Amino acid sequence: MASDPDPMRPSVRPVPYYPEPMASDGSGAATASLVLGILGLVCSIIPIIGLISWLLAPAALITGGIGLKSTTSKGLAIGGLVTGGLALIVCLLWLVLFGAAIASVGSARSF
């Protein structure tokens, strides 16, 4: 039968271990900034899909600023700020390039 001679005695069971929840230090915003910056930079290189980058790059800059203020490890936030800034610069270069192309087409029609 049972190995315990007194079945009426309450059994002593170990208490399960539940780890303490980790406090958030804002690294979610820094990670989101880096992801948005990388996506914005990749999308900004592609001509038509680069329009999405006009939304992703400022979002990366904003979340990078939030992540820079609130996190202890600032590497991800700085990476998000850099990639978001580069994506915005590439978007502006495309805008200048397309503007120059449209202006040249307008002047070529007069020939």
Q: Is the pLDDT of residue 2 over 60?
A: no
* Residue-level pLDDT at 23: 63
> Domain coordinates of the chain in residue numbers?
27-104
User: Encoding tokens for residue 30?
Assistant: 């820094």
* Residue-level pLDDT at 39: 96
What secondary structure does DSSP assign to 54-102, as a single string? HHHHHHHHHHHHHHHHH-S--HHHHHHHHHHHHHHHHHHHHHHHHHHHH
Rounded mean pLDDT, 95-105: 89
Distance CA 27, CA 40 (A): 20
Q: Whole-structure pTM over 0.75, yes or no? A: no
* Residue-level pLDDT at 49: 87
* Residue-level pLDDT at 6: 66
Q: Which of 75, 73, 61 is nearest to 24 (CA)?
A: 73
* Residue-level pLDDT at 24: 63
Confidence category of residue 111, pLDDT binned at 50, 70, 90 = low
Rounded mean pLDDT, 16-40: 84
Q: What is the pLDDT of residues 35-74, one digit of tens each?
A: 999 999 999 999 888 889 999 999 999 999 999 888 777 8
